[in-house]
Amino acid sequence: MREKIYFILSMVIFGAVGVFAKYIDMSSSKIALFLSLIGALFLLVIFVGTRQKVSWTTIKRNAASLFIASIALSGNWIFLFQAYKETTIANAALSYYFAPVLVIILSPLILKEKLSPKKTVCIGIALLGLFFILQNGRMETSGHHHILGIGYGLIAAGFYAVLTLVNKFIRDLDGLANTLLQLGLSVLMLSPIVLFTDGFNFVSFTKDTVILMLILGFVHGGIGFYLFFAGMKGLKGQSIAVLSYIDPLTSLIISVLVVGERMTLQQIFGAVLLLGSIWISEVGGEKKRRIRTLE
């Protein structure tokens, strides 16, 4: 039960990231850098405090995968945060949650997994849901560029799909050590990008920006990831698949009830198609795998 609570809390934290990213007065690359830095420092304290160790041989064996995963993680955050700035939290979250569909599409090519007829149908339904969301996004509103924001969300989903697939090739690293290494590498990759684009100008930071960034770094980058991996250890794959939907649903609830953004019936219908198709694909697949294991 404790692991389930940890995982649910992590999904709520991840789902709330859009509120902070949307209103932090920084570029997306700078937000991604500070999130990686604060999250890495937080997890490093936990790693050292719990006296965990990781061998240099294991790191070298996974060096290529860790490097690619860190690039994907950095790109994922940059484009996701930019999506939140360009469109509504709901549009950004829904377009970003197209990532599982991309994983399904790319799995036969990268992981050599077979694409079942059921998953093919689910992909079609998800694409239809995305179509309705995009149609809603064509209506530009003051301060928003919805199509552009949804596009950024889809690019972020692409990076997240790569991140998910590459992590399947990482061996002999537990979740905490793996995340700590990827966050640390992301800091090294994002630092020159920020240096040559925005520069490290701290004078323009307002008090509100600093507070929001610290909350985002510690709560999302640190506590969120720690609860995610601590909870995932004691849960079955099916439970993880179902509980993962708390993430986008939290984003939608916050978008409507907290921020006051409106969702049209067309957008709600698209969200149901997109999230429903992924849920059927993931949960159904997990049930089959469990039956085969018992046999």
Which structural domain range is residue 105 located in? 2-294
Is residue 65 over pLDDT 90? yes
Q: Which residue type occupies 223?
A: I
How many Cα atoms are found within 13 Å in the side-chain-facing hemisphere of 129? 24
DSSP string, 255-295: IIIIS-----HHHHHHHHHHHHHHHHHHHHHHHHHHHHHH-
Residues 255, 259: Cα–Cα separation, whole Å = 5
First and final CA of the chain: distance in angstroms? 27
Residues 21, 82: Cα–Cα separation, whole Å = 8
Q: Which residue type occupies 270?
A: G
Is residue 85 over pLDDT 50? yes
142 vs 129, residue with greater confidence: 129
What integer pLDDT is reported at residue 295 of this predicted model? 40
Model confidence at 265, in pLDDT bands (50, 70, 90)? confident
Is residue 75 over pLDDT 90? yes
Report whether 151 contacts 133 (CB < 8 A).
no
Model confidence at 294, in pLDDT bands (50, 70, 90)? very low
What integer pLDDT is reported at residue 155 of this predicted model? 95
Residues 30, 255: Cα–Cα separation, whole Å = 24
Report the candidate in 194, 176, 181, 91 with the shortest Cα–Cα distance to residue 136: 91
Residues 287, 269: Cα–Cα separation, whole Å = 27
The average pLDDT across 94-104 equals 84
Is residue 190 over pLDDT 90? yes
Residues 217, 207: Cα–Cα separation, whole Å = 15
Residues 43, 227: Cα–Cα separation, whole Å = 11
DSSP H helices, 141-233, are 146-167, 175-197, 207-215, 225-232
Model confidence at 158, in pLDDT bands (50, 70, 90)? very high
> Whole-number mean pLDDT of the chain?
83
Report whether 150 contacts 134 (CB < 8 A).
yes
What integer pLDDT is reported at residue 291 of this predicted model? 38
- Report the chain's C-alpha Rg in angstroms: 19
- Report the percent of the chain where pLDDT is more than 90: 24
Report the candidate in 24, 17, 23, 34 with the shortest Cα–Cα distance to residue 190: 34
Structure tokens at 200: 């490290």
Report whether 231 contacts 5 (CB < 8 A).
yes
Residues 145, 103: Cα–Cα separation, whole Å = 27
Low-confidence winner among 44-53, 131-140, 284-293 (lowest mean pLDDT): 284-293
284 vs 178, residue with greater confidence: 178
Model confidence at 293, in pLDDT bands (50, 70, 90)? very low
The average pLDDT across 238-264 equals 79
Residues 27, 13: Cα–Cα separation, whole Å = 21
Low-confidence winner among 62-76, 139-153, 230-244 (lowest mean pLDDT): 230-244
How many structural domains comprise the chain?
A: 1
Structure tokens at 114: 């077979």
Task: Kindly tell me the sign of the dihedral angle through the C-alpha atoms of 150, 241, 256, 209.
Answer: negative
3, 98, 150 from 31: Cα distances, Å? 30, 23, 19
